[in-house]
Amino acid sequence: KVDYKPLAEKGPDGTYPPLNDTPQRVSLAEVHNPFIKAEHRPAVDEYLAKRDHRMETVAVDNLDVVEQLEGGVIDTLEFSTKESQGQAFKIARSLTDPVNPFGDLISDMARRQVLTDLQAAMADKLVNEYRAAIREASRGEGERRVNSNWMARYTYNNKALEATLAVKRARALAVAKAAEVLPNAGLDSALVSKLADACKKAPSDAKAQAELFVTLGKDLTIEQRRAWLKAALATRPTPAGEPLIPFAKTSGRRPAGDDPNADPSAEPSAEPPTEPAAEPAEPPKNQ
């Protein structure tokens, strides 16, 4: 057996505080996943940097879809009846597929041999346990099963989370580098001056910078918002090595925690993977 820190831990108020990233991403931290040690971080971090770089581009290219997702469109879909769920699933997939080119993070890393089977199995366990805890916390008093609307909405909102976080990073960058990037965004000179002046008063933390972009963006068209974001992304350094290209088809390996049709009463395994006698070999770097 191996000791590990679960992703879901209740705070002082008895509720689960939100994670600071996707559950899949958090499951790669050694404090949670003891099989991913310091010597494995370079390969993991190289992969994540390349994935983030590609995801920011994809998310900004699909800004109209991401803004709909941020607006809560998934939570308006009705998955609970046979009459409505077919159309709901179709809409949910049409919104999330374009902004999820790599599919499940852990599956993609395992397929590229960035993670060993043992490391990936532990990550999946952490994600599934987190989902189970959040699911149970959502169960209404007297309810024997979690509402199917919650199940599907959680799945698709989680599928979209990587893209919405990528757009937030792009927004923060656009504000932080406003004076540099706005002149290259193809906007009217008067508008450039107005936005640049507003950004001079921007706070230094990324969250507040991203929020300022949203506030300023309310007076812009989506084409203007996208142009500003693309100008910002153009200033990013390109990760070293070959770019990360999505596979033509998703891997057959799919964690149960991401399956919208999974039995909501099914529980993840109670035991984490057993550590072998020898340390797992360092996963090869992404090719």
pLDDT tops 80 at residue 277: no
CB-based contact 256:262 (threshold 8 Å): yes
Domain membership flag for residue 262: no
133-185 per-position pLDDT tens digit: 999 888 877 777 778 889 899 999 999 999 999 999 999 999 999 999 999 99
Classify residue 51 as left (phi > 0), alpha (psi -120 to 50) or beta.
alpha
Backbone φ and ψ of 192, nearest 5°: -60, -45
Classify residue 152 as left (phi > 0), alpha (psi -120 to 50) or beta.
alpha
Domain membership flag for residue 245: no
Domain membership flag for residue 174: yes
Domain membership flag for residue 282: no
Domain membership flag for residue 118: yes
Residue 82 domain boundaries: 23-239
Give the integer Cα–Cα distance in Å for 196 and 183: 9
179-232 per-position pLDDT tens digit: 999 999 999 999 999 999 999 989 999 999 999 999 999 999 999 999 999 999
Per-residue CA distances from 41 to 22, 84, 242, 246 (Å): 18, 45, 18, 22
The pair of structure tokens assigned to 9 is: 């831990």
- For the chain, the domain total comes to 1
19-37 per-position pLDDT tens digit: 999 999 999 999 999 999 9
